[in-house]
Chains A and B, each alone.
Chain A
Amino acid sequence: MAARVLLLITLLFSPPMLLCAIPQQASTTVQQESAVSAVSASSKQAGEQAPAAAKTDDKVQKDAKSPQKIHVRLGTISFGFGYSYFSGPYYYPYRLYGFYPYGLGYPVVFCDPLWCAPASLLSPAYSGSLAYAADKGEVKLTADPKTAEVYIDGAYAGTADHLKTMWLDSGAYDLSVSAKGRKEFRQRIYILSRKSLKILARLEPEKEPDAVGETEVKP
């Protein structure tokens, strides 16, 4: 009984912590990427000052010797709490190891959500061709109205409220979102593996046929 309580407590804590950890990871990665780009930028600046002829040779040598750049990012932080009660005829010392987070909540909480998260915990849209895969990119779609129909490369993908998160293979796609009585939203999107793209599709109401007036030209 106590063990079940322990399991329950751990599992109750696990999904929210997992979900909280996702944006944390994303922001950390972005910051580190900018840091690395700054490093590569400064190395290039140094290269520019060299004479043109020697620059090519230096660059080749630098490429050959350059160590791999390392991105350190903070993964999921997990906490576990547990209580168990034992009652038996004999003392079993190993039992005294008590709570063992790695056996209960650990596999659920500790997984890097970008690599091995259980699909059912992250989003209801993880099914079919829009499901998560390590080499796919993420599209976070927010649409107004939420019941708008989403089309990818002209093919119906579902309604926006069920496609808040989509995972697509790397490539370029034509995304369109449409709803009755609203102007269609169209956007060319480019998806890179392991990268997230946020899209806000706000569909404006269509003008009445009588109310033909000024036409908005977006620069």
Chain B
Amino acid sequence: MNREILLGLVLLAVAPLVASGPRGTVPKAAANRYPSHAEKDSVSVGAALLTSDEVRKTFVSEVNRCCVVVEVALYPPKDKPQPVSLDDFAVRVMGSETAVKPSSAKVVAASIQKSAESQRDVTVSPSVGVGHESGTYVDPVTGARTSGHGTYTEVGVAVGIGEPGSHSGSSERDRDTMQTELSEKGLPEGTASAPVAGYLYFPLTKKKNTTLQLECALNGNKVVLTLP
């Protein structure tokens, strides 16, 4: 009985940690389902570079503003859990000497918020009005009853200038939300005994006609995947 209570208490203590931790994405059936894949020491890895359009559809946060997003999936052998860490990954522009490590969700969210803070919305609203009026009145000079009519037009333009920081994603609360989203969709760190997948956020901009390479260290062995 006491053992059951103890187990229940442990589960209660662990539950929030598990619930709040990163969840990643659902890994595909096999690594070869990803555009780039490799296997080393019976550990398979698959990767896919997301286009700007895919990033826009996948994330509410405007990740395109700061980062290149790569979906990575790891398939460890059943009897050998695989440690997963962001430090094990890097992206390099093919032919370049410098590689970029992925940023944490916190850093990416802060970067997006900073970018949003510097934006100011200006709204331009045009308006057009046309009116016609007719009637009779007594002329105060002659005393005669006179009829008159007129057509009138109105044209207006209103310009509304929003305050800095009024853009979506600029508030502290938005930053927390973005961090939550990026963290929950990011590649889960820790020890994986089953296939895991998630997104990595690399703080660089992909130029046209350049090819990126994903480098990952699997149990000390370097694996290079070319991202199409």
Using a CB–CB cutoff of 8 Å, the interface residues on chain A facing chain B are: 6, 33-34, 36-37, 40-42, 44-45, 48, 52, 66, 68-92, 95-102, 106, 109-110, 112, 135, 137, 169-172, 188-195, 197, 217-219
| Contact status A99-B152, CB under 8 Å | yes
| Contact status A219-B61, CB under 8 Å | no
B79 proximal to A (CB < 8 A): no
| Contact status A89-B137, CB under 8 Å | yes
Chain B residues within 8 Å of A6, by CB: 131
| Contact status B181-A190, CB under 8 Å | yes
* A113: min CB distance to chain B, Å: 11
CA–CA, A41 to B138, complex, Å?
70
B178 proximal to A (CB < 8 A): yes
Of B2-10, B116-124, B211-219, the segment with at least 4 beta carbons within 8 Å of chain A is B116-124
| Contact status B128-A80, CB under 8 Å | yes
5 contacts between A and B (CB under 8 A): A69-B120, A77-B126, A87-B135, A99-B131, A190-B60
For A97, A170, A189, which residue has the most chain B Cβ atoms within 10 angstroms? Answer: A170
Of B62, B120, B125, B207, which is within 8 A of A75 by CB? B125
Chain B residues within 8 Å of A97, by CB: 152
Chain A residues within 8 Å of B160, by CB: 75, 112
Of B83-91, B167-175, B186-194, the segment with at least 4 beta carbons within 8 Å of chain A is B167-175
| Contact status B28-A72, CB under 8 Å | no
| Contact status B204-A79, CB under 8 Å | no
Q: Mark B42-65, 1 if CB is under 8 A from A, else 0.
A: 000000000000000000111011
Q: Interface residue count for B (Cβ, 8 Å)?
A: 61
CA–CA, A144 to B154, complex, Å?
46
Known: A81-B130, A112-B160. A193 touches B115 (CB 8 A): no
Using a CB–CB cutoff of 8 Å, the interface residues on chain B facing chain A are: 26-29, 33, 60-62, 64-65, 98, 115, 118-140, 146, 148, 150-152, 154, 156, 158, 160, 164, 166-169, 171, 173-174, 176-178, 180-181, 184, 204-205, 207
| Contact status A37-B119, CB under 8 Å | no
Chain A residues within 8 Å of B61, by CB: 190, 192
| Contact status B138-A89, CB under 8 Å | yes
CA–CA, A14 to B26, complex, Å?
48
| Contact status A79-B129, CB under 8 Å | yes
| Contact status B138-A90, CB under 8 Å | yes
Known: A86-B135, A191-B177, A193-B171. A112 touches B123 (CB 8 A): yes
Chain A residues within 8 Å of B207, by CB: 45
- Which 9 pairs of residues, A with B, have the shortest CB-CB distance? A99-B131, A75-B125, A101-B129, A86-B135, A80-B129, A98-B152, A82-B131, A75-B123, A78-B127
| Contact status A90-B60, CB under 8 Å | no
Of B27, B137, B154, B166, which is within 8 A of A100 by CB? B154
Chain A residues within 8 Å of B122, by CB: 70-73
Known: A85-B135, A89-B138, A192-B61. A110 touches B184 (CB 8 A): no
Of B62, B132, B164, which is within 8 A of A33 by CB? B62
| Contact status B125-A95, CB under 8 Å | no
| Contact status B177-A194, CB under 8 Å | no
| Contact status B29-A96, CB under 8 Å | no
Q: Which residue of B lies closest to A81 (CB)?
A: B130
Chain A residues within 8 Å of B168, by CB: 137, 192-195
Of B138, B148, B171, which is within 8 A of A135 by CB? B171
Known: A80-B130, A99-B154, A193-B168. A87 touches B137 (CB 8 A): yes
CA–CA, A52 to B97, complex, Å?
12
CA–CA, A100 to B154, complex, Å?
8
